[in-house]
Structures are given as C-alpha cells and as structure tokens.
Structure 1
Amino acid sequence: MTEDTPPATKGRTVTIAVAVLVLLVGAVLVALTAFRPGDPGTGDPEAGFARDMSTHHAQAVRMSFIVRDGTDDAEVRLLAYDIINTQSAQIGMMTAWLDEWGLPKTDPAGPMRWMSGHGGHQGATAMPGMATRDQLAELERASGRAAEVQYLRLMVAHHRGGVAMAEAVLARTGHDRVRSLARTMVTGQNAEIAQMNRMLRQRGGTAV
C-alpha cells in the first residue's frame, strides 16, 4: 500500500481484515465446541448412565409422591420429600449433560447396554431395583402403615439397584463430573438404605 492510498481505503482494508479474523476465530470455536475431545459418544457408559439413571430416578420420584399422599407419617413424608428433591435435581443435571454432549435422551439401541457384564447384568433391558407395575399399583392402593412399609421395602431395593448402577459407571469412566455424581449417589443412597431399614423395623416390618 502506497502513501497515496486514501485514508478511507486504509480504514476499509483494516475493517475487512478484522472481520475475516473474527470469522476465522468464530469458526475455530464452533469446531472446538462440536468436536471437544473427551465428550462421551452415544454408546459410551457416561451417556448410558445419564439416560438410565434418569429413568431409574424418575420411578423413585413417582413412588415418593405416591407415599407422600398415602400417609400422614411425618418421618416417611420427609424422606419422600428429600428423595423427590434430590433425585429430581440429579435428573436435571444428567439431562443437561446429554444436552451439552449433543446426545439423544434415549439410546436407539436400547437401555442398559453400558452396564453389560457388571453384577450379572448382560445387557438386559431390566434396570436393577425397579418396582414392577403390580408393585406400583399395590402401593397406590395402600394407605397408612401398609403404604409406609411397602414404600420403604420397595425403596430399599430401588436404592440398592441405583447403587449398583453408580458403582458400575465408576468402574467404567474417568469423566470427573460423572464420577463425582456417582460417588454422591453411592454415599447418599447407602445412608438412606440404613435409615429406611431402621424405619421399617420401627413400623413392624422386616429389614431387607
């Protein structure tokens, strides 16, 4: 560019160069976001855990709403309230992960594939600890002490299944956020299992 180049032309040249640079930087950032190393794929254990544990948690939330409406027992209602809030928040966290990773909320190949070989699960679609339709229907019909005992027994089994799933993903992932949540689940649900067995004995039930 010569000294005779008009100032307006120089300004336009700089503006164009800056615009091109901005576009290039933006393209690089988009590419890095789309192809971040370390983000799980749809068939990876982190994605399977997020999907299947969300489904597992959803049933715990459902059972907790049922017993909350089926008893006046303050301790059982408080436990149900805690499970509703804790597991609903964790569902939100895992759903956000799937959104961040750009992955579908359900596995096109079916649930529980990621846990194959752990604790006797060989890719079966049944999640450990899930209540059956008949058990849920019975819980809905129950009230008072019967509802409390049934809920506690079902929830102990449900929590044990959840702990097994959390331990399975801990054995399969190095993803920091997934490991942190899974460890929280193992610790929290084991503590609640002990609490629920104590509550069962207090209500005339047998610890499970």
Structure 2
Amino acid sequence: MEGIFITIEGPDGAGKTSVLRELLPRLEDAMTIDIVATREPGGSRIAEEIRELILNPANTEMDVRTEALLYTASRRQHLVEKIKPTLARGALLICDRFVDSSLVYQGAGRGIGIQEVAEMNRFATEGIEPDLTLYLDIEASVGLERINRSKEERQFDRLDQEKLEFHEQVRAAYLTLVEDNQERIILIDAAGSIEEVVTTCFNLIKERFPTRF
C-alpha cells in the first residue's frame, strides 16, 4: 500500500468525532496528499446498513458473538470498498475506529476474549493494520458524563447505554493495547480542550510523516 492509514481510537465520550472534524481541515491545508476520512462501523453503503443494525438500541436481544461478527462483516466490506482503494492510490485515510475497538469492546467488554476477536479480524482484514493510531484517553466516568450531557445532540446507541463497569473494562483494555503496541499507538490525554487535543494530534502526524507536509 502506498498511502498512509491512521486510526483514531478511544472510549465513548473521548471526543473522537469532534477531534476528527476539527483536525481534517488543518491536515488538508498542510499536507501534500489527498485525505479521506471515514468511520467504523460504516464507511460504505453496506457497512453503514450493518452499523444501523448493530447500534440500534431496540436490538437488546443481540448475542455478543453476533455483535462481534457483525462488526467484523462491516469492517470487511469497508476495507474492500474504501480502505484498500484509498491506500492503493496513495492517499491518507483517517478512520474513526478500527480493529482496536473490536478488541476492547467485544473482546474485553463483552468477555469474548481479545485473542478470539483478533483472530476473527485477521481473517477479515488480511492483516492490514494502521500505520499510526491516535488513542484519545479519558476516564470512563468522565466519558459517560459527556455522553449524557450531549445525548440530545448525538446518537445514543447500545454501547453508550452500558453500565460504568463495562466502560471501565474497555478503557483498561485500551491501555493494555497502548502498552503492547507503543510504536503504533500513541496515547493522548483527551481531558483537555478540543483545541489542545487537535493540536497534539496534528503535531504527532506531522512528526511521524514529515515528508508528506
């Protein structure tokens, strides 16, 4: 792949979507290559339809393994339709969530097992991994407070409605991934202002890929 693959990860309430929205125009003004933003679950027509099924709060009877398989199916379709073609033409693709989210939410939070979910995703992604992952870290209780304050302005999905213990397990698993993948995943304190977080993300990308600026 000739392009650059960056992912943004973090617990619910970390501000990933807001940060990405502010970060994109800064990158577009400064970088010398095309930039494509996308998200998971979703990012392509079929993958977005699967997203609606997964996150619909009405689907309370969904089995945890069914959930994990649906995330993986959505990811596979997204990879084929958008991720691989974008990277093949040499662009920068920046994605709101990727495999790390499945490892922590389904593997740890749902108790399926991180290795089991990792194996499922290796099959779906053919081993494709991000070049850089920006992990926005926030305490679970703070993230949930943010979600509850803004739930009239955003989708309040099945995962948002989980109890604090679930979100604490997710964050703990994220921190383990950071420790185990220090070359790829960089921790960013998301408790500060959005301007501070966006500037930190921008500087980290510029430092990692200086020839593309």
**TM-score, normalized by length of structure 1?**
0.28
As a proportion of its length, which structure holds more strand? 2
* More relative contact order, 1 or 2 (CA 8 Å, 6+ apart): 2
**TM-score, normalized by length of structure 2?**
0.28
Bigger-Rg structure (1/2): 1
As a proportion of its length, which structure holds more helix? 1
